Structure 1
Amino acid sequence: MEEFVGPRLYSCYKRRNRVALHDDIISKGFQAKNRRAFLFSHATNIVVGPKEDRHLMTGLHTVADVYCSDCREVLGWKYERAYEDSQKYKEGKIVLENSRL
């Protein structure tokens, strides 16, 4: 049996561009529309789009879509600002949709 060496990685589903490490997952309990998503502390090889206010399941947030830096597919979003005190922990974090990884 082959032994696994190196960190577990998440990649863009289209071009296999590496975008996040398994060890950077903060929560696996997020939803993106009708899909499961993970909250990451940070990601790489992404482009952050313009900020906009959105009403999400947990209230109003300022977010920006994040795209694969290679193919420009939307992978999820970045929390730029949370208006509720209980949601402040999300600021600066990135949600990536499982179906796009």
Structure 2
Amino acid sequence: MTASEWLQAQGLCLSDIDFIETVIANQAAHQQGFLNEKQLAELMHQHFPEKTYHASSQLSITDFNKLLQDNSIIIDGREIIRRYMIQGFCMALCNRMLTE
């Protein structure tokens, strides 16, 4: 089961899954220097105007869990990140977040 399938099985809607995956992918791009914080925030607000998002230079697992909570996404952020890392999605970011 992929991480996305697992999220669906946990009852998350597709827009919340898309938001989570976009946060992870964009944060990984930022970490690798492809996006600055302003670009990151603009992209997130453009694609998800209804969601709360604050750009972070180093998104921590605590920040990620707060982001989920602020957007009424009730799920364990650590488990999400673990599942994406196992799948090979944004491994450097996921590994850093899980080893904090």
More strand by share: 1
Higher share in helix: 2
User: Which is bigger in relative contact order (C-alpha 8 A, separation at least 6)?
Assistant: 2
Q: TM-score range by the shorter chain?
A: under 0.3
TM-score, length-normalised on structure 2? 0.25
TM-score by length of 1: 0.25
